[in-house]
Every structure is written in structure tokens, then in C-alpha cells.
Amino acid sequence: MAGTFNLVVVAPAGEVLNTEAEFVLAPGAEGELGILANHAPLIANLVIGVVRYTQDGKVEKIAISGGFMEVAQNKVTILADTAERAESIDVDRAEAAKERAEKRLREKQSETDMIRAEVALKRSLARLRATDKL
């Protein structure tokens, strides 16, 4: 059986998770990053998406909207712009955000507004994915 490592997820408001995990899969800017115990040191950019980790063989999910991941000395630290554990995600709010963003994209506003709507859409989709609502 593979070993475990300390997984910490921090958002601006504070620590979202601090646990022992067997595996973590994070949305890296250049693709998914999978980390097991005793991984070599690493710093990576993360994008909007879902962080999946396993604990006692069970997969848990956290939605993040980008940030950084540091791997060092059998500890993985994720510093995220926003982070919510699946069970604390308000599904109705994420669905409303998704519909608002899709409406803005259909209305084809200024380029800045379109980019903002695309990013908001990605955040809402990540939240819905983390709760298995997509």
C-alpha cells in the first residue's frame, strides 16, 4: 500500500482542508498533475477546476478557481483564489452563476465582459463538477 502525505488547501479566508491523503489530482495550467507520497519537490500554477484526492481509498473533491501548488517534504500545499469542499458548495448558487454567465455570453457584450463571463462560467462548472451535478 502506498504511503500518505499531508494535503493542505488554503483560500484567502483561511484553511479549507488539512488532512492525510494517498493521492491528489490537481488542475495544472499544463494539464492534470497527479501526486503520490514522497513526490519530488515541485511548484505549479493551477487553473479553475476540481482537485480530487483519495483518503482511505475514497475520492473527495474540492472546487478551486486557480492558484499554486507546492510539493515539498511529503506535503502538498494548494494556495487557491477560492476553494470549496464539495459538501459546502451551494448548488443553486453555482447553477444561477452558470446561467448568468451563459446569458452574458449569448448577448455578446464587450470583449472584457465576454472574458469575465467565460471565467465565471468556468468557476460555476468546476463547482457543479465537484458536486457531481454535471
CA distance 55 to 109: 44
Phi first, then psi: give them for residue 73, nearest 5 degrees: 50, 50
> How many Å is the Cα radius of gyration of the chain?
16
For the CB of residue 85, give the shortest distance to ligand ATP in the complex, in Å. Answer: 9
For the CB of residue 128, give the shortest distance to ligand ATP in the complex, in Å. Answer: 9
Between residues 42 and 134, which has the closer beta carbon with respect to ligand ATP?
134
**Secondary structure (3-state) at 74:** coil
Between residues 39 and 100, which has the closer beta carbon with respect to ligand ATP?
100
For the CB of residue 33, give the shortest distance to ligand ATP in the complex, in Å. Answer: 22
Between residues 93 and 108, which has the closer beta carbon with respect to ligand ATP?
93
Dihedral of CA atoms 46, 81, 53, 23 in degrees, nearest 10, equals: 50
Which residues make up the interface to ligand ATP (CB under 6 A)? 13, 65, 82, 84, 88-90, 93-94, 97, 120, 123, 127
Between residues 37 and 114, which has the closer beta carbon with respect to ligand ATP?
114
For the CB of residue 130, give the shortest distance to ligand ATP in the complex, in Å. Answer: 10
**Secondary structure (3-state) at 127:** helix
For the CB of residue 86, give the shortest distance to ligand ATP in the complex, in Å. Answer: 10
Instruction: Give the cell for residue 19.
Output: 488532512
Between residues 11 and 69, which has the closer beta carbon with respect to ligand ATP?
11
- Name which of 120, 122, 133 is nearest 61 in CA terms: 133
